[in-house]
Each structure stands twice: as C-alpha cells, then as structure tokens.
Amino acid sequence: MDITQQSPHQITRTHDFAVHYGQSDVDTIREQIEQTEAMKRRWLFLAMIISIAALVGAIVLLSTNYALYSSSESDKKKLTQENAALKSRADQTQQQLETRNAEDAKQSETRADAQSKLQKLLPAILRGNPSPGEVASFARMVHALPNGRVELDSKPPDKLFRNWKANVGSTTETYALVGGFVDGKWVVYTPLSSGGKLSLWKVPIDGGDPVQRRRRVQPR
C-alpha cells in the first residue's frame, strides 16, 4: 500500500460554513438594538434632568447668597450712618456740656467774686454809713447772687430799702432793694428794674418767682 504525504500547505479545505438568519432572527436583533438605544436615550434624558436641577440649585444658591450679601451691605451702610449720626450728636452734646460747664464755672467765679466783695462791703452797709456808690455796688452784687438775695444776721438800715442806680460802663442800671425779717434773719432781695420804670417787689422766703407789688416808683 502506497502512502502519499502532502505538505501542510497543500491541504485544502473541503468544507465551508455559512450562517443563515431567518426573518424572526432579524426582527429579534432589531428589537434588541431599539431597546438598547431607548435605554441610552432614557439615561441621557435623566442625566440632562439632573444637570438642569443642579444648575437651577446653583442659580438659586447664588441668588440667595447675593441677596444676603446685599442685605448685609445695606445693614452695614445703615449702621455706619447711624454710628456717624450718634457720634455727631455725642460731639454736639459734649460741646454743649463743655459750654455749659464753662458758663457755670464763669458764673460760679463771678458769684464767688461778688460774695467776696459783698463780705467786704457788708460792715459799712450794716453800720448805715455807706456812700451811694457803695450801696449801688451792694445792690448789684446781691442781684448777682443765687436767687438775687442775701441773708443778714442783723437788721439793715431802713434807708437801704429804696431804688439805687449803678453805672456799668456807659449803661445805668437801677436796682430796688427789698428786705424782710423771716425765721430770725433779715433777707434783702434785689430785682433789676428795666426800661426806666422802677417798681417794688415781694419775694417768698422759701424761694419762687418774685411778685411785683407796685409800679413806677419814683427813684431817689
């Protein structure tokens, strides 16, 4: 028996395979492709909805933050203006207080000076031998005291109680000395007459507004 050997390159295929699809197979494949595409579209639509919701949320958050920032800036500006107004009022109040303190200090100094001069002048007044100028100065000093009055331990001369003229620079001022005995002390009160019309006044010993008793007293 003869055996013939062939080279591998000389071996030829004697069987070819072919795949044949029926109409049902084609319909099944088409349906699977359509389902896959529909699933992709649904996922894309869902992703788009999520992206839009995230964008809307970001816009709302930014708008809220901007509104809060604007409100904070407005409140800050309002507070700054209020602080400036309060500082201005505080400065004005401080200036008024300093002015008032200066006026009070000046008045206290004036009263202390008047009280000192008054104490020096009182002995001559009580002895009844003062000059008209000294009595006029005494009346002016009493007028400068608180409530325009002074308390004396002894009775002043009767001739003291009348109207007196005091020259202050180019101005002539007229004072009416009024006295009375209350609670063991003599009180001398001095109102300043104005307009050249002299008058007599009554003043309560416990303080209060003076009451005019007689008008147009003839000065002496």
Last residue of a domain, one of 127, 157, 187: 127
Residue 97: which domain range?
A: 23-127
Number of domains in the chain: 2
Task: Please list the alpha-helical segments (H only) found in 13-131.
Answer: 23-127
In a shared domain, residues 159 and 177:
yes
Residues 153 and 206 in one domain: yes
The reply to whether 101 and 141 lie within a common domain is no
Which is more confident, 181 or 59? 59
Same domain, 176 and 210: yes
Q: What is the largest CA-CA distance in the chain?
A: 190
The answer to whether residues 136 and 179 belong to one domain is: yes
On whether both 27 and 123 belong to a single domain, the answer is yes
Cα–Cα nearest to 164, from 185, 206, 184, 134: 134
159 and 128 Cβ atoms separated by less than 8 Å? yes
Same domain, 117 and 73: yes
Shared domain check, 41 and 85: yes
Q: Has residue 27 been placed in a domain? A: yes
Band of pLDDT at residue 167, cut at 50, 70 and 90: confident
Residue 136: pLDDT band (50, 70, 90) is: confident
- Same domain for 103 and 148, yes or no, is no
Say if 81 falls within a structural domain.
Answer: yes
Q: Give dist(CA 125, CA 138) in Å, integer.
A: 8
**Shared-domain flag, residues 105 and 85:** yes
CB 162 within 8 A of CB 175: no
Whole-structure pTM value: 0.41
Rg (CA), the chain: 58
193 close to 175: Cβ distance less than 8 angstroms: yes
Residue where one domain finishes, among candidates 127, 159, 185: 127
Band of pLDDT at residue 169, cut at 50, 70 and 90? confident
Question: In whole angstroms, what is the distance from residue 4 CA to residue 10 CA?
Answer: 12
Judgement on whether residues 106 and 202 belong to the same structural domain of the protein: no
Q: Which one-letter DSSP state was computed for residue 206?
A: T
Is the pLDDT higher at 217 or at 94? 94
> Are 90 and 183 members of one domain?
no
The pLDDT tens digits of the residues spanning 56-105 come to 999 999 988 888 888 888 888 888 888 888 888 899 999 999 999 998 88
**3 in a structural domain:** no
- Residue 175 vs residues 51, 110, 137, 141, 142: alpha-carbon distances, Å: 97, 18, 10, 10, 10
